[in-house]
Amino acid sequence: MLVGGTKARPYGSTTKARTWVLAALGVVKVATAEQIRQLTCPGTADAQTVRNAAKDLGVEGLVVSLGSATRINDKGNRVSEKLWNLTTAGLEAASVVLDREVKEMGGTAKASVPSGAPHARKVTDTITAFLQPIPEPTRPVVRKNQPPPTVPTQTAAGPFRPAGIGTLSSWETEVVLPVAGTFISPAKGSPRADAVLTAPGAGLPVLFVEVDNGTEDRQIVANKIFKYRRFFRRTLKDNARDVPMWQTLYGDHGRQGHPPVAIVFTKQVGPEAMMNRMKAIRDLSTECWKGHWQGGSLYGTDVKDGYRRYDGTVPVIVTTLARLQQHGPHGPIWWRYGHSSWESLEAALDNPDDYRAFSVRDEERRLERRAQEEREQREREETKRRQKAAAWACPTCGRDVYPNDDWQSAAPGSDCSVCNSAKERERQAAEERAAEEAQAKAEAEAWRKENGIFGFLRR
């Protein structure tokens, strides 16, 4: 029992510290004092503030420690820490702090404590990495019967942290997503999300998070994505209209397809082994996340272009806990299955090859085609203008004659093609008449020579 405590609060904790503990355990269910400190008050010097608060809550019967966990501290030493979780009464108290219904709080997760709760602790670390809590500057607490410092104390500035997303109350853990049945009695095959983030103010109405410790078979992890898709496909009737059940819970996310699922890999392995696991899960779940190709273009059948439709697909983004802790959720740490590089969260959730990009390209093609047609029209008009400027009157009929009259080159001052054709027909007709006359004359002369002047009498 610490000096400065009271009968009601024998460990001397503050109301603020006890609120931190209730809020943290109300969300993550199981955590060590150091994890609660990192999650709610990283600006404090050490975990003793949280530990005292947990002990005082334990006196009230709201918090209990049923086991411990080991970790490696900053000095490389293995340390053992108590695991704290809420009692049933503690769940009710936490619901008040988080402003939630008791039925929404879930269970106490005490069954995981005897084994050290390795997965639950990694879920807590993942949520902390998403939040990136900013250490608030603190001052040393002046204890009773201690003289005031002769030199004003300096406010300690916390280390720089990347931007986080959401608040502690934005999170829920161990969330049942019934593919059939109810939330209390879900059907077999219903997924249970490790964590769910709702941060509409940050442009992320909902994100389902799976934490992979590397202990499950790759197929089992991939099957979770199929289970999510099955839940996302469940619909409810709303004024005779089918509405996805997830929209009734979290609202529309404003993107094509189902809500995104993030997988955070926590196991410390080499880069190649980690990438192999990520790729294996990608390949085993391709059916769920891959968009459907739509080919064609409105402008030019020879254009090989198209886009992908993502309706009915599950966007899957993956990263490692180490990357998330170092760069925060907005850093270029996400690999979206189907994309080719590490991206920010916003870019990873986007669909750059969907109809939007295709329509931009098709509009560019339409504008280019229109510009080409306008160029060709101007060229035709310019050719016509030049031809008209070089025209002359036909000497025979007065019609305008162009240098390339009727696709035939014409000498300046010559007749038009119509007159030339008429004169050509007249010439050919005259030649034909002359030939016929010559032939008749020749035939008459030949007959005369053969029969003489009285040959007609022998007929």
For the chain, give every domain's residue range.
1-113, 117-134+160-353, 404-452
Distance in angstroms (rounded) separating the CA atoms of residues 156 and 422 = 107
Distance in angstroms (rounded) separating the CA atoms of residues 41 and 17 = 9
pLDDT band at 253 (very low <50, low <70, confident <90, very high): confident
Q: Give, in order, the Cα–Cα distances in Å from 362 to each of 295, 296, 302, 308, 370.
A: 12, 10, 13, 14, 12
Across 228-251, average pLDDT: 92
Average pLDDT across the chain, whole number? 87
pLDDT band at 420 (very low <50, low <70, confident <90, very high): confident
Structure tokens at 238: 């709303």
pLDDT band at 452 (very low <50, low <70, confident <90, very high): low
Query: What integer pLDDT is reported at residue 446 of this predicted model?
Result: 83
CATH 3.90.330.10 fits 1-113, yes or no: no
pLDDT one-digit tens code per residue, 362-384: 888 888 888 998 999 999 998 88
Contacts of 249 (CB under 8 A, 6+ apart): none
pLDDT one-digit tens code per residue, 331-366: 999 999 999 999 999 999 999 888 887 888 888 888
**Residues 302, 349: contact at Cβ < 8 Å?**
no
Q: Name the residue with higher pLDDT: 435 or 277.
A: 277
Map tokens 């009271």 to a residue. 6
Residue type, 318: V
Over pLDDT 70: what percentage of the chain?
Answer: 89
- Residue 138: strand pairing partners: 156
Distance in angstroms (rounded) separating the CA atoms of residues 447 and 455 = 9
Across 403-410, average pLDDT: 69
Q: How many residues does the chain have?
A: 459
**Residues 27, 120: contact at Cβ < 8 Å?**
no
**Residues 317, 348: contact at Cβ < 8 Å?**
yes
Across 40-67, average pLDDT: 93
| pLDDT of 231 above 60 | yes
pLDDT one-digit tens code per residue, 162-205: 999 999 999 999 999 999 999 889 999 999 999 999 999 888 99
